[in-house]
Chain A
């Protein structure tokens, strides 16, 4: 906005200025004038406390401090929250049950909305579902898989992610932002802990097979603490049967193929 000199003023503005110039100077009430003069001259005014201008209630410390703490907490919790799960791809015909609600395989938006922060997923029919928490982790569920999935790891704290595979095959890959987090997968037979890797968990009624394509995975028997168990290097698999000693062998080609397919599908979303 430009400032204006007198010659820029409109007649109306000139009238306003004249009116302002013509305002009288109000005089104090004589009683007040005399009382204040006496106090000022005698020095009694110095004994006064002075006006205390109370801040509005919403600007006082007892409101501001808790409000600031709450705001900070909200910001921290909101900022810490990891990404939501979303459906990257669904191939095949069938339906997906999320927390008991059936969705057609083609309803990616519906599945994604129901599964944002995890839940129970059952794949019915010959379909493969690729889920991804962008930058953090991806899970591919094969036909007949039944998995309980937690939310993706948070950014700064509570960086654990859990999954429970009751049946079928689930393929896990982690992204760059997974660094420092851990993933615990349980089956009816085994306990798996991975720290940044690509691996498959094949769960059958007679046992569990964990195929590791990249990174390190520790596989223990059911009931062992997460992180306990045998370290399974990449390219190998660990088979856990109830009542039979677990064994380590070369990784299954099918698992390697499926993990490669998964990475091709979601690699970009994982920033890999």
Chain B
């Protein structure tokens, strides 16, 4: 029986170019040769790195912030940091956890900023561009509508959670990290990560009760 420590994610649809639930690079063996070239800031390798990991960074930022513009800002900031720290990248290790940590930290910095607090209420998760991008491409308008409505409900409920709870549940259930990885990413104890996840799941269940 799977536990929270070994989250199982549904396989993404192969016909759907948009839905890539699990980042392709996460959990896979690192391409050491490419990463060594990334360390040297080889343009071709940087392009490969960007193509591999942009979706991971952007998707995580989007789910944490619920806003396309902010997610783009965060993605830019993350890749800026990556570029600056490229020579310190360990080619023998999968960079996905590192990118997840950077993305989470940048989001947390953003949450703490005055500009975010000032504009938080104005955030609109129903932005039409987002809706278009989230479309599954199944050529089934009714299913798309239902699916989109369900996504909207879940994302809306996620955004109502306090940021620490939101971060934990997104990292665990959306990003696919186990509790130990969540704890490492957030610099908290393993038990604390588990407890925070339990609270987050209970809170989210309260908000979505009878609506799914």
Contacts and interface: CB of A to CB of B under 8 A. Distances in A.
Do A and B make up one complex? yes
Interface of A: 1-7, 9-10, 12-13, 15-17, 19-29, 32-33, 36-37, 39-43, 45-46, 48, 50-51, 53-57, 59
B62 A26 contact: yes
B177 interface: no
B99 interface: no
A120 B21 CA distance: 81
B134 A43 contact: no
B93 interface: no
Contact of A13 (B50, B71, B202): B202
Interface in B101-153: 106, 109-110, 112-117, 129-130, 133-134, 136, 150-151, 153
Contact of A16 (B41, B106, B208): B208
Contacts of A13: 201-202, 205
Contact of B205 (A10, A37, A46, A53): A10
Nearest to B191: A3
Contacts of A27: 18, 55, 58-59, 133
B113 A1 contact: no
Given A1-B198, A21-B173, A53-B110, A6 B1 contact: yes
Given A5-B3, A13-B201, A42 B77 contact: no
A123 B11 CA distance: 92
12 contacts: A6-B1, A10-B205, A19-B150, A24-B134, A24-B151, A25-B55, A37-B54, A39-B79, A43-B41, A46-B84, A51-B73, A59-B114
Contacts of B133: 26-27, 29
Given A20-B169, A21-B9, A43-B83, 4 more contacts: A12-B209, A23-B63, A40-B83, A53-B116
A53 B112 contact: yes
A17 B72 contact: no
B165 interface: no
A23 B151 contact: yes
B112 A1 contact: no
A4 B21 CA distance: 24
Nearest to A50: B80
A48 B80 contact: yes
Nearest to A46: B83
Nearest to B46: A41
Nearest to B23: A25
B58 A28 contact: yes
A34 to B, nearest CB: 10
A45 B79 contact: yes
Contacts of B9: 21
Interface residues of B, number: 74
Contacts of B62: 26
- 5 closest cross-chain pairs (CB), A and B: A53-B113, A56-B114, A20-B173, A25-B59, A3-B194
Interface string B48-92: 001100110011001100001001111111011111100000000
A55 B63 contact: no
A16 B205 contact: yes
B37 interface: no
A36 B155 contact: no
Interface string B197-212: 1110110110011001
A7 B106 CA distance: 35
A181 B2 CA distance: 73
Nearest to A11: B205
B134 A55 contact: no
Contacts of A23: 21, 63, 151, 154-155, 174
Contacts of B174: 20-21, 23
Interface string B148-181: 0011011100000000000001000110000000
Contacts of B84: 46
Nearest to A20: B173
Contacts of B19: 24-25
Contacts of A20: 154, 169, 173-174, 204
Given A5-B3, A26-B59, A37 B114 contact: no
Contacts of B134: 24, 26
